[in-house]
Amino acid sequence: MSQLQTPPRWLSRFFAWLCKPADIDDLLGDMEEIYRDNLGQMSRSKARFKYFGQCWVLVFSYTVKKRKVQAAFMNQQWSIQNIKSMYFNYFKMVLRRFRTRLSFSLINIFGLGVGMAACFLITLFVVSEHSFDRFHEDYDRTYRLTKTYPAGQQQVQTAELRNYFLPIMQASNPAIESICRIRDQRDGVMVLSNESVVVEKQVAFAESNFFNFFSFPLLSGNPNTVLNEPYSVAISESLARKYFGNDQVEGQLMKVGFPQDGRQLDLKVAGVFKDMPANSHIHKDLIISGATGEAEAKAGRGFRAFVMQHNYFKLAAEMSIDLVNQQLPEIEDKHAPSFYKRVGMHLGTQAMADIHLRSNMEHEFEANSSEQYLDLLVILVIFILSMAVFNYTNLATSQSLDRSKEVGVRKVMGSGRKQLIARFMVESLIVSFAGLLLAAIILSLALPYFGQLSGRSLSFSFQEHWRLLLGFLGLTVLVGLLSGFYPALYMSGFRPIASLKGKLSGTGASVKFLRRTLVIGQFAISAGLMVGTAVVFKQFNYMLNQDLGLATKAIINVDISGQGANKKLDELKQSLLALPMVEQVAASAKAPLSDFDLGATNGIYLPNGSEAYSMNYLRVDRDFIGLYDIEMLVGQGYASFEGEPLSGVVLNRSAMENLGFNLENVVGQQVEVYDGYHPRVIGVTEDFHFESLRQAIGPVYFQWIADRPDRFDALSVRLKGNDLGEGLMAVQDIYKQIIQTSPFEYHFLDDRMKRAYENEQYFLNTFGLFSILAIAIASLGALGLAMQLAVSKQREMGVRKVLGAKVGSILKLMSKELIYMVVLANLIAWPVAYYFMDLWLAEFPYRDAIGAGVFLFTLGVSVLVSFLSIGGTSWRVAVSNPVKSLRTE
Partner 1 sequence: MRGFIGEFEELVLLTIVALGDEAYGVSVKENIEKRADRSISIGALHSTITRLEEKGFIESRLGGATRERGGRKKRYFSLTLEGKQGLAKIKSLRDELWADPNAQIALSDFI
The H or E element spanning position 265 is strand 264-273
Amino acid at the residue 10: W
In the 8-state DSSP scheme, what is residue 259? T
Q: Based on CB atoms, which residue is closest to partner 1, 16 or 646?
A: 16
Measured CA to CA, the distance from residue 874 to residue 811 in angstroms comes to 6
CA 845 to chain centre: 22
Binding of partner 1 by 642 (CB under 8 A) = no
Binding of partner 1 by 541 (CB under 8 A) = no
Binding of partner 1 by 30 (CB under 8 A) = yes
Minimum distance from CB of 55 to partner 1 (Å)? 9
Binding of partner 1 by 179 (CB under 8 A) = no
Binding of partner 1 by 85 (CB under 8 A) = no
Contacts by residues 346-349 (CB-CB < 8 Å, ≥ 24 positions apart) = 346/147, 346/148, 346/149, 347/145, 347/146, 347/147, 347/148, 347/161, 347/165, 348/145, 348/146, 348/147, 348/148, 348/157, 349/143, 349/144, 349/145, 349/146, 349/321, 349/324, 349/325
Q: Based on CB atoms, which residue is closest to partner 1, 29 or 455?
A: 29
- Which residues have C-beta within 8 Å of that of residue 489, sequence separation ≥ 6? 421
Contact 841, 850 (CB under 8 A): yes
Q: Based on CB atoms, which residue is closest to partner 1, 18 or 401?
A: 18
Q: Based on CB atoms, which residue is closest to partner 1, 58 or 586?
A: 58
Contact 564, 710 (CB under 8 A): yes
DSSP structure string for 715-737: EEEEE-SS-HHHHHHHHHHHHHH
Minimum distance from CB of 89 to partner 1 (Å)? 33
Binding of partner 1 by 31 (CB under 8 A) = yes
Q: C-alpha dihedral over 174, 180, 181, 186, to 10 degrees?
A: -150
Beta strand 680-685 pairing with 616-620: unpaired
Binding of partner 1 by 582 (CB under 8 A) = no
Q: Which of 20, 26, 99, 608 binds partner 1 (CB under 8 A)?
A: 26
Please name which of 756, 738, 736, 758 lies closest in space to residue 747, comparing C-alpha atoms. Answer: 756
For CA atoms 348, 350, 355, 359, the dihedral sign is: negative
Q: Torsions phi, psi of 695, nearest 5?
A: -95, 135
Minimum distance from CB of 23 to partner 1 (Å)? 9
Minimum distance from CB of 429 to partner 1 (Å)? 40
Binding of partner 1 by 36 (CB under 8 A) = yes
Minimum distance from CB of 79 to partner 1 (Å)? 19
Q: Based on CB atoms, which residue is closest to partner 1, 63 or 737?
A: 63
Minimum distance from CB of 62 to partner 1 (Å)? 4
Binding of partner 1 by 17 (CB under 8 A) = no
Minimum distance from CB of 15 to partner 1 (Å)? 12
Minimum distance from CB of 54 to partner 1 (Å)? 5
Task: Report the 3 state secondary structure along 127-158.
Answer: HHHHCCCCCCCCHHHEEEEEEEEEECCEEEEE
Q: Based on CB atoms, which residue is closest to partner 1, 28 or 772?
A: 28
First to last CA, the chain: 67
Contact letters for partner 1, residues 446-485 (x by CB under 8 A): ----------------------------------------
For CA atoms 836, 840, 842, 847, the dihedral sign is: negative
Contact 866, 819 (CB under 8 A): yes
Amino acid at the residue 8: P
Measured CA to CA, the distance from residue 845 to residue 832 in angstroms comes to 22
Stretch that binds partner 1, among 23-31, 225-233, 482-490, 556-564 (CB under 8 A): 23-31
Stretch that binds partner 1, among 30-38, 498-506, 603-611, 735-743 (CB under 8 A): 30-38
Minimum distance from CB of 378 to partner 1 (Å)? 58
- Which residues have C-beta within 8 Å of that of residue 225, sequence separation ≥ 6? 208, 270
Q: Which of 3, 4, 25, 81 binds partner 1 (CB under 8 A)?
A: 25
Stretch that binds partner 1, among 33-41, 335-343, 477-485, 598-606 (CB under 8 A): 33-41
Q: Which of 8, 13, 29, 322 binds partner 1 (CB under 8 A)?
A: 29
Q: Based on CB atoms, which residue is closest to partner 1, 14 or 513?
A: 14
Minimum distance from CB of 31 to partner 1 (Å)? 7
Contact 655, 622 (CB under 8 A): no
Q: Based on CB atoms, which residue is closest to partner 1, 22 or 156?
A: 22
- Paired with 268 in beta bridges are 232, 253
Q: Which of 1, 80, 413, 852 binds partner 1 (CB under 8 A)?
A: 1
Amino acid at the residue 673: V
Measured CA to CA, the distance from residue 315 to residue 174 in angstroms comes to 9
Binding of partner 1 by 46 (CB under 8 A) = no
Minimum distance from CB of 1 to partner 1 (Å)? 7
Q: Based on CB atoms, which residue is closest to partner 1, 48 or 67?
A: 67
Q: Based on CB atoms, which residue is closest to partner 1, 12 or 394?
A: 12
Q: Based on CB atoms, which residue is closest to partner 1, 28 or 705?
A: 28
Q: Based on CB atoms, which residue is closest to partner 1, 64 or 775?
A: 64
Stretch that binds partner 1, among 20-28, 439-447, 459-467, 696-704 (CB under 8 A): 20-28
- Which residues have C-beta within 8 Å of that of residue 37, sequence separation ≥ 6? none
Stretch that binds partner 1, among 50-58, 136-144, 228-236, 612-620 (CB under 8 A): 50-58
Q: Which of 11, 18, 32, 567 binds partner 1 (CB under 8 A)?
A: 32
Amino acid at the residue 669: Q
Which 3 state secondary structure label does DSSP give 160?
A: strand
The H or E element spanning position 543 is helix 509-545
Q: Based on CB atoms, which residue is closest to partner 1, 27 or 649?
A: 27
Binding of partner 1 by 28 (CB under 8 A) = yes
Amino acid at the residue 603: G
- Which residues have C-beta within 8 Å of that of residue 714, sequence separation ≥ 6? 557, 558, 559, 560, 561, 587, 588, 589, 590, 591, 594
Q: Based on CB atoms, which residue is closest to partner 1, 28 or 199?
A: 28
Minimum distance from CB of 20 to partner 1 (Å)? 17
Stretch that binds partner 1, among 29-37, 158-166, 265-273, 804-812 (CB under 8 A): 29-37
Minimum distance from CB of 27 to partner 1 (Å)? 7
What number of chain residues touch partner 1 (CB under 8 A)? 23
Q: Which of 6, 103, 517, 546 binds partner 1 (CB under 8 A)?
A: 6
Q: Which of 11, 34, 328, 447 binds partner 1 (CB under 8 A)?
A: 34
Binding of partner 1 by 42 (CB under 8 A) = no
Which 3 state secondary structure label does DSSP give 632?
A: strand
51-80 binders of partner 1 (CB under 8 A): 53-54, 57-58, 60-63, 66-67
Minimum distance from CB of 30 to partner 1 (Å)? 4
Q: Based on CB atoms, which residue is closest to partner 1, 71 or 504?
A: 71
Q: Based on CB atoms, which residue is closest to partner 1, 32 or 138?
A: 32
In the 8-state DSSP scheme, what is residue 629? T
**For the chain, how many residues are written?**
889
Q: Based on CB atoms, which residue is closest to partner 1, 23 or 751?
A: 23
Binding of partner 1 by 831 (CB under 8 A) = no
**Which residues lie near partner 1 (CB under 8 A)?**
1, 6, 25-34, 36, 53-54, 57-58, 60-63, 66-67
